[in-house]
């Protein structure tokens, strides 16, 4: 097999694997979240369908695929129908420059578990992931529902604001590494994790990630105590499910990216191989997404925006300034 043919086949296979594996993990993540919340809040959780309720995922899939797909009478039908696609497509597309494992040999060829090793991978990830803001925005605007409209407005307010925090928090990392490539950032940490050199940037980026993934306590787009079901109030069936496929895929992607940027990436951890170390560290980060939902209440919109612009933004700017002085 020629190198060009192998490259084409390899790219197609990697694309299919990313979609298949991440979509499957997103379904499994819903089960994991319900189990974690049940254990922390002394509830039963999934337990009836299959051993330990593991087949509840299959039951939920059957339910979503067979439920009626309802479109409100006065909704903008075209926009209403494409809004869920933006959430899922944006989440999967953001994974293109993310290296999932170290490179390895296969049939005499070097396989790199990354779809596109571009030198601006970090910028690409942030840019494409931010496109997902259009999903709740368009869903809320097109639904002809006042609760969905409120959630759409709050989505823009919170997501755009915290995109600023995530971007500025990573400036200090880029200044130290001198590259926007996630591969270069990973390799930079072969001698030490960036979380120890940039602990404030780590905390700021992690908090911004909670907003971008619509997670408690920083979620305003879907707060059941205030907005029924937020921007997805009028959705049903698989279109409703696609919002959550996008959300959980974003959580998984963000967990991996946080590990790559701050927690040593896929560099070996003591006697633990790099691939396994990446999976373990990303699992811990993902667990914290679930833990905070069980332990913390929602913030009000004014509290969240005040926290963003009065606390996090000055800290992010100060961190960049201090990093610049240290490097000089």
Give residue-wise pLDDT tens across range 230-253. 788 888 888 888 888 888 888 999
> Which of 110-114, 160-164, 193-197, 212-216 has the lowest average pLDDT?
110-114
How far is Cα 280 from Cα 321, in angstroms, rounded to an integer? Answer: 33
Provide the angle, in degrees to the nearest 10, between the axes of the packed helices 274-295 and 237-262: 120
% of the chain exceeding 90 in pLDDT = 25
% of the chain exceeding 70 in pLDDT = 96
Residue in the structure block whose two tokens are 């100060």: 318
Mean pLDDT of 83-92: 88
Residue 200 pLDDT grade (very low, low, confident, very high; cuts 50, 70, 90)? very high
Mean pLDDT of 182-199: 90
Burial class of residue 131 (count of CB atoms within 10 Å of its CB; 0-12, 13-18, 19+): middle
pLDDT value at position 3?
A: 67
Alpha-carbon dihedral 13, 5, 256, 179, rounded to 10 degrees: -160
- Give the count of beta carbons closer than 10 Å to the beta carbon of residue 191: 7
Average pLDDT in the chain: 86
Q: Sort strands 104-106 and 109-111 into parallel, antiparallel or unpaired.
A: antiparallel
Question: Residue 253 corresponds to which tokens in the numbers above?
Answer: 């992607």
Answer whether residue 1 shows pLDDT above 70: no
Residue in the structure block whose two tokens are 């939902």: 293
Answer whether residue 225 shows pLDDT above 70: no
Rounded alpha-carbon distances, angstroms, from residue 65 to 68, 100, 234: 8, 30, 17
Residue 226 pLDDT grade (very low, low, confident, very high; cuts 50, 70, 90)? low
> Which of 50-64, 102-116, 250-264 has the lowest average pLDDT?
102-116
Question: Residue 86 corresponds to which tokens in the numbers above?
Answer: 């933006």
Task: Count CA within 13 A, CB hemisphere, residue 244.
Answer: 23
pTM (2 decimals)?
0.89
Residue 308 or 45, more confident:
308
Mean pLDDT of 184-192: 88
At 104, which helix (H) or strand (E)? Answer: strand 104-106
Mean pLDDT of 271-277: 86
pLDDT value at position 285?
A: 94
Residue in the structure block whose two tokens are 């105590």: 225
Mean pLDDT of 199-210: 93
Q: For 269, phi and psi rounded to 5 degrees?
A: -115, 100
Answer whether residue 169 shows pLDDT above 80: yes
CB 209 within 8 A of CB 163: no
Residue 54 or 228, more confident:
54
Residue 223 pLDDT grade (very low, low, confident, very high; cuts 50, 70, 90)? low
Question: Residue 276 corresponds to which tokens in the numbers above?
Answer: 């396994």
Answer whether residue 170 shows pLDDT above 90: yes
């Amino acid at each position: 097999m020629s190198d060009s043919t192998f490259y084409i086949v390899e790219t197609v296979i990697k694309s299919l694997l990313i979609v298949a594996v991440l979509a499957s993990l997103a379904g499994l993540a819903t089960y994991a979240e319900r189990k974690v919340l049940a254990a922390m809040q002394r509830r039963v959780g999934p337990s009836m369908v299959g051993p330990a309720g593991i087949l509840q995922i299959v039951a939920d899939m059957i339910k979503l695929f067979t439920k009626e797909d309802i479109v409100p009478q006065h909704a903008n039908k075209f926009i209403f129908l494409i809004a869920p696609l933006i959430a899922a497509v944006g989440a999967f597309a953001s994974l293109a420059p993310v290296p999932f494992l170290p490179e390895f040999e296969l049939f005499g060829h070097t396989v790199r578990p990354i779809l596109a090793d571009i030198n601006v991978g970090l910028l690409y990830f942030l840019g494409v992931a931010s496109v997902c803001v259009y999903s709740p925005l368009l869903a809320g605007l097109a639904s002809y529902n006042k609760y969905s409209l409120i959630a759409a407005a709050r989505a823009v307010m919170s997501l755009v604001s915290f995109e600023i925090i995530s971007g500025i928090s990573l400036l200090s990392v880029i200044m130290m590494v001198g590259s926007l490539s996630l591969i270069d950032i990973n390799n930079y940490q072969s001698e030490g994790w960036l979380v120890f050199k940039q602990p404030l940037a780590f905390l700021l980026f992690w908090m911004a990630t909670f907003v971008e993934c619509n997670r408690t306590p920083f979620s305003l787009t879907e707060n059941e105590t205030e907005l029924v079901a937020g921007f997805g109030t009028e959705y049903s069936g698989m279109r409703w499910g696609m919002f959550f496929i996008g959300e959980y895929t974003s959580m998984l992607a963000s967990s991996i990216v946080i590990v790559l940027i701050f927690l040593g990436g896929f560099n070996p951890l003591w006697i633990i191989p790099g691939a396994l170390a990446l999976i373990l560290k990303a699992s811990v980060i993902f667990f914290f997404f679930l833990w905070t939902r069980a332990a913390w209440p929602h913030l009000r919109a004014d509290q969240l925006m005040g926290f963003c612009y009065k606390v996090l933004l000055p800290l992010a700017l100060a961190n960049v300034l201090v990093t610049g002085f240290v490097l000089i």
